[in-house]
């Protein structure tokens, strides 16, 4: 970035002290370790660290000014006070990168499950239409034009605007963002205005952060207040949550699998182990699609992506081609090639609803197979869903292997104890080591079985006691059958 005048960087945030007029900004950061001469330091009180404790460090390292909302910090010529530092961070980021969000079409997708699949399918469709498309979400930045791993579904404000600025410089037409409830709650996208937005569903998740499902939903809804006046939202509204969004916000289009009264609907479809065929009705326009993706939940992701594309103005041929050419979603219902006797599927799912969706589709497709499941609950996350995960799996599985996912700072025995409270049948084995649990599952597999491995998807690590340790379900499976 070229330098920007401090007055322009802080435009709409605070009024400058006269002693700072004419100062140049060379960078912005909420991390004191990144501060250098000419930087603006925004002191954020986060979940692990309070940036206000590092203000002196930032000033000593040459920060041109500091932004704080702490009542314990006194205002000075260099320390400026705001009501909300997170909101200020977003505004300053937009100013510093000269508002790239105004120079590229933005699409946001939110919901509990299906965000990654929907955004990837939509990216495929738009590329079939000849557009240059950036995807930002759980899988990272695709393509990774900034060569960073942000570790968040929705990056923080500075990173979002940095990414968008690079996308504008490289002449991308669209940026598609997975929008998490955390990002909405923490004001990370307040300064974005979306051309199009989509809603997948809402189920039990993240109550460790939001406390109640109502709070969780209220955060999700905020996305639909960030739509441009000439933009529109596409809502799967067969649920009460979808209906609430449609009732509350303007410029919403409804999508249904139950009613012809919706703007977009799909009442005719076929699902099997080879994929999906369906007929969509798009505001009177009929389109037949074929996809290699399996399951009703994937059909919901497909129609949401297709309706957003239709609203954008993508031609029918490109919509069909984009859907058919999307063969799989990394880490989602992904078949793991193996030399063993059974079918093995890996899926990133980590909520009761995601489990039920995947397992129901497997049951429909592999009617004669015995379903076995390896899964685990994440540590330092929503505890209310742990027993519910077991209840969802028990509806479909004949055998379960309960093994660690990402225990983080929690004791794995405590996590497992809360999970097994959801089982009413003795169909589970408990393991404190995921590798041992997976090997036990592999040793017991026969031709009559199908094994679904939940939680890790394409991740190649486990978070244990604050460290990310290398771990790969796929590598273990490969080594097991080669030994």
| DSSP string across 89-114 | HHHHHHHHTT-GGGSSEEEEEESSSS
| Distance separating alpha carbons of residues 30 and 76, to the nearest angstrom | 19
Above 90 in pLDDT, residue 13? yes
CA angle 138, 144, 149 (to 5 degrees): 55
Task: Decide if 41 is inside a domain.
Answer: yes
Mean pLDDT of the chain: 94
Q: What is residue 86's predicted lDDT score, i.e. its pLDDT? A: 94
Work out the average pLDDT over 398-402.
98
- Number of domains observed in the structure of the chain: 3
Q: CATH number, domain at 472?
A: 3.90.190.20
Q: What is residue 22's predicted lDDT score, i.e. its pLDDT? A: 87
Q: What is residue 373's predicted lDDT score, i.e. its pLDDT? A: 98
Q: What is residue 330's predicted lDDT score, i.e. its pLDDT? A: 87
Residues in contact with 139: Cβ distance below 8 Å, sequence separation at least 6, in sequence order = 116, 120, 330, 331, 458
Q: Do 105 and 90 belong together in one domain?
A: no
Domain boundary pick from 36, 63, 96:
96
Domain boundary pick from 266, 295, 324:
324
- Tokens 């330091």 identify what position? 41
Task: Decide if 76 is inside a domain.
Answer: yes
Q: What is residue 206's predicted lDDT score, i.e. its pLDDT? A: 84
Task: Decide if 68 is inside a domain.
Answer: yes
What's the maximum distance between 2 C-alpha atoms anywhere in the chain?
A: 77
pLDDT in tens, 111-143: 999 999 999 999 999 999 999 999 999 999 999
**Is residue 117 within 8 Å of 294, Cβ to Cβ?**
no
Q: What is residue 443's predicted lDDT score, i.e. its pLDDT? A: 97
How far is CA 14 from its chain centroid?
33
Region at 392 (left for phi over 0; alpha for psi -120 to 50; beta for the rest): alpha
Task: Decide if 265 is inside a domain.
Answer: yes
Work out the average pLDDT over 103-109.
98
Q: Do 41 and 131 belong together in one domain?
A: no
Domain boundary pick from 72, 96, 120:
96
Work out the average pLDDT over 230-238.
96
Q: Say what angle helices 412-420 and 386-394 make with each other, to 10 degrees.
A: 50
Q: Do 40 and 54 belong together in one domain?
A: yes
Q: Do 89 and 104 belong together in one domain?
A: no
| Distance separating alpha carbons of residues 309 and 126, to the nearest angstrom | 7
Could you tell me the two tokens for 329? 């979603």
Q: pTM for the complete prediction? A: 0.89
pLDDT in tens, 142-155: 999 998 777 778 88
Q: Do 475 and 339 belong together in one domain?
A: yes
Above 80 in pLDDT, residue 47? no
Q: CATH number, domain at 88?
A: 3.40.1390.10
Task: Decide if 278 is inside a domain.
Answer: yes
| Distance separating alpha carbons of residues 177 and 147, to the nearest angstrom | 17
Using only C-alpha atoms, what is the Rg of the chain?
24
Q: Do 339 and 285 belong together in one domain?
A: no
Q: What is residue 183's predicted lDDT score, i.e. its pLDDT? A: 93
**Is residue 109 within 8 Å of 183, Cβ to Cβ?**
no
Residues in contact with 382: Cβ distance below 8 Å, sequence separation at least 6, in sequence order = 204, 205, 206, 207, 208, 209
Could you tell me the two tokens for 381? 């996350």
Strand pairing category for 275-282 and 285-291: antiparallel
Strand pairing category for 343-347 and 449-454: parallel
Q: What is residue 209's predicted lDDT score, i.e. its pLDDT? A: 82
Task: Decide if 267 is inside a domain.
Answer: yes
Work out the average pLDDT over 352-363.
92
| DSSP string across 300-333 | HHHHHHHHHHHHHT--HHHHHHHHHT---BTTBS
Could you tell me the two tokens for 439? 């090997």
Q: What phi, psi does 377 have (nearest 5°)?
A: -100, 140
- Tokens 């609950």 identify what position? 377
| DSSP string across 214-266 | HHHHHHHHGGGGSEEEEEEEEEE-SSHHHHHHHHHSSSEEEEESS-TTSSEEE
Handedness of CA 380, 384, 387, 389 (dihedral sign): negative
Q: What is residue 366's predicted lDDT score, i.e. its pLDDT? A: 87
Work out the average pLDDT over 169-191.
95
Domain extent for 52: 4-96
pLDDT in tens, 289-331: 999 998 899 999 999 999 999 999 999 999 999 999 998 898 8
Task: Decide if 329 is inside a domain.
Answer: no
Q: What is residue 306's predicted lDDT score, i.e. its pLDDT? A: 98
Above 80 in pLDDT, residue 173? yes
Q: Do 397 and 279 belong together in one domain?
A: no
- Percent of the chain past pLDDT 70, that is, above it, reads 100
Above 70 in pLDDT, residue 236? yes
Above 90 in pLDDT, residue 208? no
Q: CATH number, domain at 320?
A: 3.40.1190.10
Q: Do 370 and 468 belong together in one domain?
A: yes
Q: Do 78 and 168 belong together in one domain?
A: no
Q: Do 18 and 137 belong together in one domain?
A: no
Q: Do 349 and 279 belong together in one domain?
A: no
CA nearest to 352, candidates 330, 326, 382: 382
Q: Do 243 and 272 belong together in one domain?
A: yes
User: Residue length, the chain?
Assistant: 483
Task: Decide if 343 is inside a domain.
Answer: yes
CA nearest to 253, candidates 314, 196, 187, 205: 196
Q: Say what angle helices 157-169 and 85-96 make with each other, to 10 degrees.
A: 20
Containing 171, the helix (H) or strand (E) segment is: none
The band of 1, judged by pLDDT with boundaries at 50, 70 and 90, is: low
């Amino acid at each position: 970035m070229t330098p920007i005048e401090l007055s322009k960087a802080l435009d709409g945030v605070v009024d400058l002290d006269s002693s700072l007029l004419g100062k140049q900004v060379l960078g912005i950061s909420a991390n004191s370790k990144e501060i250098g001469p000419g930087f603006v330091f925004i002191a954020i009180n986060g979940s692990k660290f309070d940036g206000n404790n590092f203000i002196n460090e930032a000033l000593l390292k040459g920060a041109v000014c500091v932004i704080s909302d702490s009542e314990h910090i006194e205002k000075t010529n260099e320390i400026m006070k705001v009501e909300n530092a997170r909101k200020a961070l977003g505004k300053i980021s937009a100013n510093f990168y000269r508002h790239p969000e105004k120079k590229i079409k933005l699409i946001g997708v939110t919901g509990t499950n299906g965000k990654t699949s929907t955004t990837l399918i939509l990216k495929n469709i738009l590329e079939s239409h000849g557009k240059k498309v950036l995807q930002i979400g759980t899988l990272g930045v695709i393509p990774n034009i900034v060569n960073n791993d942000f570790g968040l579904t929705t990056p923080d404000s500075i990173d979002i605007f940095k990414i968008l600025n690079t996308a504008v410089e490289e002449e991308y037409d669209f940026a598609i963002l997975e929008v998490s409830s955390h990002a909405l709650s923490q004001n990370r996208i307040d300064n974005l205005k979306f051309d199009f937005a989509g809603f997948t569903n809402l189920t039990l998740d993240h109550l460790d952060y939001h406390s109640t499902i109502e709070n969780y939903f209220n955060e999700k809804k905020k996305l639909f207040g960030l739509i441009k006046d000439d933009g529109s939202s596409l809502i799967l509204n067969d649920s009460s949550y979808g209906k609430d969004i449609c009732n509350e916000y303007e410029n919403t289009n409804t999508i249904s699998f139950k009613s012809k009264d919706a703007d977009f609907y799909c009442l005719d479809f076929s699902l099997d182990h080879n994929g999906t065929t369906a007929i969509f009705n798009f505001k009177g326009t009929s389109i037949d699609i074929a996809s290699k993706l399996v399951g009703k939940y994937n059909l919901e992701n497909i129609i949401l992506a297709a309706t957003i594309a239709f609203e954008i103005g993508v031609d029918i041929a490109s919509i069909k081609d984009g859907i058919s050419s999307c063969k799989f979603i990394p880490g989602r219902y992904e078949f793991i090639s193996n030399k063993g006797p059974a079918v093995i599927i890996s899926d990133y799912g980590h909520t009761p609803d995601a489990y039920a969706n995947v397992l129901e589709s497997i049951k429909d497709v592999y009617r004669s197979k015995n379903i076995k499941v390896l899964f685990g609950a994440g540590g330092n996350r929503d505890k209310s869903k742990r027993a519910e995960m077991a209840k969802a799996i028990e509806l479909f599985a004949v055998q379960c292997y309960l093994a660690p996912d990402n225990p983080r700072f929690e004791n794995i025995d405590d996590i497992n104890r809360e999970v097994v409270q959801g089982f009413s049948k003795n169909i589970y084995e408990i393991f404190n080591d995921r590798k041992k649990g997976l090997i036990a599952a592999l040793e017991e597999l026969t031709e009559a079985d199908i094994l679904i491995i939940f939680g890790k998807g394409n991740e190649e690590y486990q978070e244990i006691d604050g460290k990310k340790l290398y771990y790969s379900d796929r590598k273990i499976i490969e080594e097991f059958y080669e030994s």
